Amino acid sequence: VNPEDARRMRETGLHLMRRMLAVLQIFAVSQFGCATGQIPRTLWQKDQANKDYSPLIKKLELSVERVRQLALKHQQEDRLIGSSDLQDIPLGGRDELTLAVRKELTIALRDLMAHGLYASSQGMSLVLAPIACLIPAFTSSPQTMHPWELFVKYYNTKNGQAFVESPARKLSQSFALPVTGGVAITPKQSLLTAIHTVLTEHDPFKRSADSELKALVCMALNEQRLVSWVNLICKSGALVQSHYQPWSYMANTGFESALNILSRLSNLKFNLPVDLAVRQLKNIKDAF
């Protein structure tokens, strides 16, 4: 077969496949009411019992209140002791607040953000979408996804690495100069920088997604930006549509009540360690 005939055969085959998929799509829409790109509801049936997110809201509210009370307590102690003596206080004096943030607040926030969160399948959208409604009801549920991955996806879609590693930013960091010419840094810019910092410090040591999310939450509280950073994820329509089930808390409410709860911490000052998960490993590395 000469090259020209081979090319024609390939084109004919592709044309026939497109026509066949088009016919299947028309059949699926007419018989099952399912359009391209939609995932059949049967895929979600196994998760229907997990629709109720009220316990997760309550868990977040309790953790926020505990962190708030501990932070107020530490602020009062700081005023009495004086900033010059704070360095002499053993870490144990602040461990309670740090643990509450990392093991209670972050976990509660993670669980609420994970409600109805799944890893979208490119294979489903490109290959199986035309016949999605014909997939058997016993098809396995979509793969779960860690909320930290949402932040990483946001970082990637916004070209976070290019932004953080731009020559202007590197120059400003080297000489402690304002990179924006006196203009206030936006929540988006600060979030991209924070995610980059967490990835740079934690990924080399293969830290878990939980550890990286804890570091980000600590950094957010230190900078009083927890609400604004989470809100950026909530307002990212592409991420929400691609990774949240229709009945999820995020898709249904836009995370509004959770943001209101988190805002109770916005006026408090924190000085939390960000690198707890990698500090010892960094010290070992530096020793050699």
Q: What is the pLDDT along the chain (288 residues), one digit of tens a residue?
A: 677 777 778 778 777 877 777 777 666 656 555 544 444 444 444 455 568 999 999 999 999 999 999 999 988 887 666 554 544 444 444 589 999 999 999 999 999 999 999 997 654 444 454 445 444 444 456 788 999 999 999 999 999 888 888 766 555 555 444 555 545 589 999 999 999 999 999 877 788 899 999 999 999 999 999 999 999 999 999 999 999 999 999 999 999 999 999 999 999 999 999 887 666 665 555 544
pLDDT at 183: 53
CA distances from 284 to 128, 202, 273 (A): 49, 14, 18
Query: For tokens 């980000």, what's the residue?
Result: 216
pLDDT at 31: 59
Q: How far apart are CA 219 and CA 168, in angstroms?
A: 23
Give the max Cα distance, the chain. Answer: 90
pLDDT at 88: 46
Phi-psi bin for 206: left (phi > 0), alpha (psi -120 to 50), beta?
Answer: left
Buried residues in 123-144 as b, exposed as e (16+ CB within 10 A):
ebeeeebbbbbeeeeeeeebee
Query: For tokens 């399948």, what's the residue?
Result: 121
pLDDT at 141: 62
The whole model's pTM is what?
Answer: 0.71
Q: What is the DSSP string of 128-151?
A: IGGGGGGS-TTPPPPPB--HHHHH
| Domain definitions of the chain by residue range | 54-114+146-287
Whether domain 54-114+146-287 has CATH 1.20.58.900? yes
Q: How far apart are CA 150 and CA 141, in angstroms?
A: 19
User: Which residues of 181-286 form beta strands (DSSP E)?
Assistant: none
